[in-house]
Every structure is written in C-alpha cells, then in structure tokens.
C-alpha cells in the first residue's frame, strides 16, 4: 500500500528491448550478501515549471525514461531476472528468461508525491520516513528474489526523483552506479539524438564473466554466514532489517577540502604519539578522514545521550577489483567487495584522542590489506560480527563512496539536486558521496534518533571550527 503522500499512476514491468535467456552464477563475493537488505538510493532532479506539470511529465518525460530503461537492460539482462535456487543446484544463481513475462522484468512504479520537494531535499534534519515513500519495494520469497525495482516520482511544479532498490547479492556499489549512469547516458542519447539503438560508452559496458573470479578458501562458507533454519535451508527471502524510523531523523553533513585538510593536520600532528615505529604518512585519504571524524562524533553523541552506549567498532567494505591476483577489469559487474573490521578497542571512539586512534586504525587496516591482500582477516568476519554484537559493541558501517561520482548522473535534465542512500536507516551506517559541487569535498548522510542527531550536529560543526 502506498503512503498517504504518494499517488501511484502506473506500474510496469520493463524488459530488455531484445535479449536471449541468460543464467549468471553467483560467486562467493555475491553469496555473502544473499539475504542482506537491499541497497536503496534516491536521486532528486529539478525541472522547469512547464516540464514538471503532471500532464507534460507523464506524457513526455516518463516515456523517455521508460524506453531508455528498456534499452539499458539490453546491456544488463540479469537485472531483469530473478535469483533462484532449484533443488538440483548446489548454489543459487540469477536467471533471466525473456519468454517468462510473469517472473521477469524490472518493476517500474510511476508515482506523484504531495511532499514539499524543497523540504525533502534539504540537508538539515527531517523525519527519516520521508524518503522511504520514494523507494520501491523489492520482492523476495523463499523460492526467488527480484534483482531490482525502480520508482519515478513527480513533485508537481518542482521536479522528480528516481528511487532505485537493488539486491546486494547481484550488485555492489560500483556496479549499481555503473547501471544508473548507463541508463542516464542512453536516456540523454534518446532525447538529444533520437537514436533508436544508441551504443554505450566502453566504460559503461558491463562484464558478467564469472570465470575470472577464482574460488577462495579464505571466505566463510555459506552455511556459516547464514546458519540453516530447519526445513528452510534454501530460502532466498531477505532478512527483515527493518528501517529504524521511530523518533529518527535523516540529515546530510558536508566536509569541504579545507575541513578535510584541517582534520588531517590535527591527526598527523599527534601521529608519533600513537606509533613510534613508523614514520607518519605523507597523506591520509578523504575516506580515512571522513569516516574517522564522523565515527568519533557519532560515538560521542550516542554516549552523551545514552550513557550505557560506549563501545563501538567500524566495519567497511573494500573494492577488490584492482587488488585480486590477477586484477579483474574495472567494469566487472557483480559484487567484488569484502568486509573488514578495524582493530580498535571498543572504548577508543569516545576517548579524548578518539579521532587519532580511529584514524590510525582505519589507515593501518587499509595498509595491511595493501601489503597482505584483500583476504587478510576475512576468514572469520561473520564470527567476529556475532561476537562483537553479543558483547554490546555498536557496529557502525559505511555505504556508498565519494569516488562513485553519483552527482554526474544526468538523464538530460541536469545533474541531481541531491542523492541519498535511503537504506542507511536499516542500521547504524554512514552514507558517503562526493560533494555535489565537484570541489573535492564529501557528503555524509546519517539517520539517528533526534536527540542523538542534535548532539552529533553540535560536535561535528564545533569540531570543524577548532583551529
């Protein structure tokens, strides 16, 4: 059922313009995410008043978006399929059958919202639930799971949004960004050149060849990752990671290049205190600085409001494409990420020198991965997760990246006004994106309880004003 502020106009199943049946295996990189919650992202675009009138939008813009989506799926046919796990198969796989109209195709909702567009896209804290109405549902059952669903929502007289929900076992962040950029590129082509079958740029052509991913015994088996429920060993139903919306607000914070440089100087000025064996690095990445600064502010905000919450750790994923032996192409489409925990003490985040301790731990973990390979420390990652959670340690994650270039996604009506990772509300997660101004800064999205967000905002902004 649609929320009160949403009116559903149409519901399509969009299929590739022409395609043959495909079966795509899932690698160990994919299977790790098999029952993890989907990734939900929404892109907001402004339109001139005339183009955002309902009759013009639904009769002119929506057909362009729909036809270019079908063209794009011709290059990405697995996205129009389903994850299945037949009884005669030891592993699940993705299957697309162009002759099966009921079970294939990308769900596309065309909707209209009564929400205030300018309110929804603002960075300051607002109800966490608002963005949820702009994101489509992804179907999953014991026997199958859809791969992707999309919702296009008009805000009359202002603009529109594209909400995209993707199954994490089929796409990682780099792959989902590649898809939406490919769709935007072909939509532009359809509008400006009226080509019937435009070609994609080489860097947007996906590579689905699973044979280039070699099996690895360092990864925990599927049975360890998802302990069997008796009689339900082959279930593909996504675990119910429900959004944490009650009394929660969603907000976006910015770190400029100058902010990041200030944080870097602060961290490096005390580096030798925490490491006398190695010389301090010449540089620290924006990822290390953004995460460390945000993590410490989150931990201290939680501890300031809920005194009993004082133990924290950080888990992040790392793109393995260039780090495998041999490296695999950048346009490999699927999952090629592994999760890592940093090696900190649970109380480090709330200490006076928390920023230095956490920065160094993230830096050291990335350095270890570079020196010993991406599989270092991943063998027991799920067991570690379970152990930490049982000890009352709050595990903070991260989604997105400031290297994806999401603000470059132009469908023909200009760059996005805002991009949000909505699914960060399903856990304690930082959402990262590059600055929409293209100035090298970083955007940080968060969903927290209102009182925690208020203290976080104070700590975040005050920390940047200290010289």
The answer to the question of residue 421 being in a domain is yes
Q: Do residues 178 and 276 share a domain?
A: no
Q: Enumerate residues 6+ apart whose C-beta is below 8 A from 139.
A: 107, 145, 146, 149
Average pLDDT (72-98) is 94
317 and 419 belong to one structural domain: yes
* Residue that terminates a domain, selected from 225, 259, 288: 225
Percentage, residues of the chain above pLDDT 90:
78
Is the per-residue pLDDT at 375 higher than 60?
Answer: yes
Answer yes or no: do 280 and 217 share one domain. Answer: no
Q: Note whether 254 and 220 are same-domain residues.
A: no
410 catalytically annotated: yes
Q: 219 and 325 in one domain?
A: no
Are both 114 and 152 inside the same structural domain? Answer: yes
Q: What local confidence, expressed as pLDDT, does residue 101 receive?
A: 63
Whether 193 has a pLDDT exceeding 60, the answer reads yes
Task: Give catalytic status of residue 168 as yes or no.
Answer: yes
**132: containing domain:** 6-225
User: Longest C-alpha distance within the chain, in Å?
Assistant: 68
Burial of residue 462 (number of CB atoms within 10 Å: 0-12, 13-18, 19+): exposed
Q: How many whole angstroms separate alpha carbon 165 and alpha carbon 180?
A: 11
Residue 238 lies in a domain: no
Task: Transcribe 417-463 into DSSP letters.
Answer: SEEEEGGGGGTTEEEEEE-TT-SS-EEEEEEEEHHHHHHHHHHHHHH
For the cut 60, the answer to whether the pLDDT of residue 230 exceeds it is no
Mean pLDDT of the 388-417 span: 95
Give the residue-averaged pLDDT of 426-450.
Answer: 95
What is the Cα–Cα distance from 155 to 18, expressed in whole angstroms?
Answer: 33
Q: What is the pTM of this model?
A: 0.95
User: Which pLDDT score, from 0 to 100, does residue 102 have?
Assistant: 66
The conformation of residue 351, written as its DSSP 8-state character, comes to S
Same-domain check for residues 188 and 272: no
In terms of domains, do 309 and 418 share one?
yes
The confidence score (pLDDT) of residue 350 equals 96
In this prediction, residue 2 carries a pLDDT of: 62
pLDDT (average), residues 184-207:
88
Q: How does the average pLDDT of the chain come out, rounded?
A: 91
Q: Tell me which of 275, 353, 364, 410 is the catalytic residue.
A: 410
* Token code pair at residue 378: 């991943």
Residue 408 forms part of a structural domain: yes
CATH number of the domain encompassing residue 192: 3.30.559.10
The pLDDT-based confidence of 223 (bands split at 50, 70, 90) is: very low
Can you spell out the DSSP letters for 396-423? EEEEE-TTS-GGG--SSS-S-SEEEEGG
Task: Supply the pLDDT for residue 19.
Answer: 74
Q: Residue 232 domain-assigned?
A: no
Residue 117 to residue 111: CA distance in whole angstroms: 14
pLDDT at 182 over 50: yes
Output the six-digit token pair for 213.
């991913």
Q: What is the pLDDT of residues 282-307, one digit of tens each?
A: 899 999 999 999 999 999 999 999 98
Looking at 69-78, 264-273, 287-296, 350-359, which range is the least confident one?
264-273
**34: in domain:** yes
Give residue 20's pLDDT band: very low, low, confident or very high (50, 70, 90): confident
Q: What is the DSSP string of 19-86?
A: ---EEEE--HHHHTTTTSPPEEEEEEEE--TTTTSHHHIIIIIHHHHHHHHHHHHHH-GGGGSEEE--
* Final residue belonging to a domain, choices 225, 256, 277: 225
Q: Per-residue confidence at 389, pLDDT binned at 50, 70, 90? A: confident
Higher pLDDT, 193 or 458: 458
Residue 218 has pLDDT above 90, yes or no: no
Same domain flag for 93 and 212: yes
Among 37, 167, 168, 340, the active-site one is 168
pLDDT single digits (tens) 91-144: 999 999 887 766 789 999 999 999 999 999 999 999 999 999 999 999 999 999
Q: What is the pLDDT of residues 275-288, one digit of tens each?
A: 667 778 989 999 99
Same domain, 195 and 104: yes
Residue 243 lies in a domain: no
Rounded to whole angstroms, the Cα distance separating 194 from 412 reads 13
Same domain, 183 and 330: no
Domain count, the chain: 2
Comparing 421 with 382, the larger pLDDT belongs to: 421
Is 233 domain-assigned? no
Residue 241 maps to a domain: no
Confidence of residue 222 (pLDDT cuts 50, 70, 90): very low
**332 DSSP 8-state letter:** B
Question: Is the same domain home to 216 and 252?
Answer: no
Please provide the distance, in angstroms rounded to a whole number, between the alpha carbons at the two ends of the chain: 51
């Amino acid at each position: 059922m649609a929320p009160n502020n949403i009116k559903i106009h149409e519901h399509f199943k969009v299929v590739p313009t022409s395609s043959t049946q495909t079966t795509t295996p899932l690698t160990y990189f994919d299977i790790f995410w098999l029952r993890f919650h989907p990734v939900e992202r929404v892109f907001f675009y402004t339109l001139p008043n005339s183009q955002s009138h309902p009759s013009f939008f639904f009769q002119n813009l929506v057909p362009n978006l729909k036809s270019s989506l079908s063209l794009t799926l011709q290059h990405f046919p697995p996205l129009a399929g389903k994850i299945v796990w037949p009884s005669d198969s030891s592993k699940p796989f993705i299957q697309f059958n162009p002759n099966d109209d009921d079970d294939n195709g990308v769900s596309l909702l065309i909707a209209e919202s009564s929400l205030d567009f300018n309110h929804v896209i603002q960075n300051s804290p607002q109800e966490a639930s608002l963005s949820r109405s702009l994101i489509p549902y992804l179907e999953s059952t014991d026997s199958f799971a859809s791969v992707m669903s999309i919702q296009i929502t008009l805000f009359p007289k202002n603009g529109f949004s594209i909400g995209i929900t993707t199954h994490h076992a089929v796409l990682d962040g780099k792959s989902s960004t590649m898809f939406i950029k490919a769709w935007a590129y072909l939509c532009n082509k359809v509008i400006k050149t009226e080509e019937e079958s435009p070609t994609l740029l080489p860097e947007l052509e996906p590579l689905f060849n699973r044979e280039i991913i070699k099996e690895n015994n360092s990864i925990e088996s599927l049975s360890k990752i998802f302990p069997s429920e008796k009689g339900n060993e082959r279930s593909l139903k996504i675990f119910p990671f429900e959004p944490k919306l009650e009394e929660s607000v969603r907000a976006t914070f910015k770190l400029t290049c100058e902010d990041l440089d200030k944080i870097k100087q602060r961290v490096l000025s005390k580096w030798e205190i925490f490491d006398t064996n190695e010389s301090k690095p010449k540089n620290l990445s924006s990822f290390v600085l953004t995460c460390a600064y945000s993590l410490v502010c989150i931990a201290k905000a939680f501890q300031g409001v809920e005194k009993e919450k004082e133990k924290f750790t950080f888990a992040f994923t790392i793109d393995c494409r260039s780090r495998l032996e041999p490296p695999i192409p950048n346009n490999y489409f699927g999952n090629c990420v592994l999760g890592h925990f940093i090696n900190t003490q649970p109380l480090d985040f709330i200490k006076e020198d928390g920023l230095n301790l956490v920065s160094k731990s993230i830096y050291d973990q990335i350095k270890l991965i570079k020196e010993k390979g991406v599989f270092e420390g991943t063998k027991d990652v799920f067991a570690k997760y379970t152990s930490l959670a049982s000890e009352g340690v709050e595990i903070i994650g991260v989604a997105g990246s400031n290297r994806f270039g999401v603000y470059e996604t132009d469908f023909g009506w200009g760059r996005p006004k805002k991009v949000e990772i909505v699914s960060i509300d399903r856990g304690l997660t930082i959402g990262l994106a590059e600055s929409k101004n293209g100035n090298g800064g970083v955007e940080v999205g968060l969903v927290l309880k209102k009182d925690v967000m208020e203290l976080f905002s104070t700590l975040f902004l005050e920390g940047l004003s200290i010289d």
